[in-house]
Amino acid sequence: MEQLNAAQPVIEQCNHIPQLLSIKDVGHYTGLSRSTIYEMINEKSDRYDPTFPKKVQLTQVRVVWVASEIAEWINEKIEARSV
């Protein structure tokens, strides 16, 4: 087990903290518009995609996505094109 160094900032000691992406970042990495992303996560929408990563509600107005889940979704799309 890695020993924590008191001189290191706490965030560096916690390298297992997931990176979170804003809607703007998700749009940047996926190439999707903000409205398309919200439609893809809306179960009542015709564009609903159950494979798209679920949002994380941080506050009443702030939502984010887990970066590793977005990366996995993108990689699945890339892999699916060769099938």
Q: Rounded to the nearest 10 degrees, what angle do helices 23-30 and 67-80 cross at?
A: 20
pLDDT band at residue 17, thresholds of 50, 70 and 90?
A: confident
Give the whole-angstrom CA distance, residue 8 versus residue 44: 47
Q: Is pLDDT above 80 for 35? A: yes
Q: Name which CATH class applies to 15-80.
A: mainly alpha
* The pTM of the whole model exceeds 0.85: no
User: Where is 37: in which H helix or E strand?
Assistant: helix 34-41
Domain limits, the chain: 15-80
For range 39-60, the mean pLDDT? 97
DSSP lists the bridge partners of residue 64 as 56
